Chains A and B, each alone.
Chain A
């Protein structure tokens, strides 16, 4: 069974900092990996999708990388803003979809 772990569980940073969120998975035979954002009590918004054959994807201030062989992905957020405050979830597609427990990010003004 696939296990997905996200570190750190929570992160508080001042506005403007660049930051890195980590996601690791135990079985490298994934089809793709997706990063989501979830605001409190709300649904999930897809941020980036990386196919298994890709190394990274970029969208605005977000950059996600994937190293299948080591079972790791990172989400890089540049120049963080208070509006980035949310929980960030990674999920791997491994026949079924497996989620990490998330990193709760707080960006202080």
Chain B
């Protein structure tokens, strides 16, 4: 059973507009949530994270929102740029479990100019 779900395989946005990528989870024990970005022929790179005790974390154009009651988080990119076109993975970490990150299946973002 998937613990981290990204239900939208793809998203298309125009340059300058907002991109919103969504992620749902089932395990209330997760301590941190991370977003990774992946370009073709490269490994995933860390983008932004949020602790389970917070509801928002902002870093430049990227903001992650966490709604614990709904077990839902979202990544907002404003304004979107063509260079943001990539696969975005949502991941969760449960420190008490002592295991690796649990990843969603990813959402492919395409930003057109």
Do A and B bind?
no
Which B residues fall within an 8 A CB radius of A?
A: none
Which A residues fall within an 8 A CB radius of B?
A: none
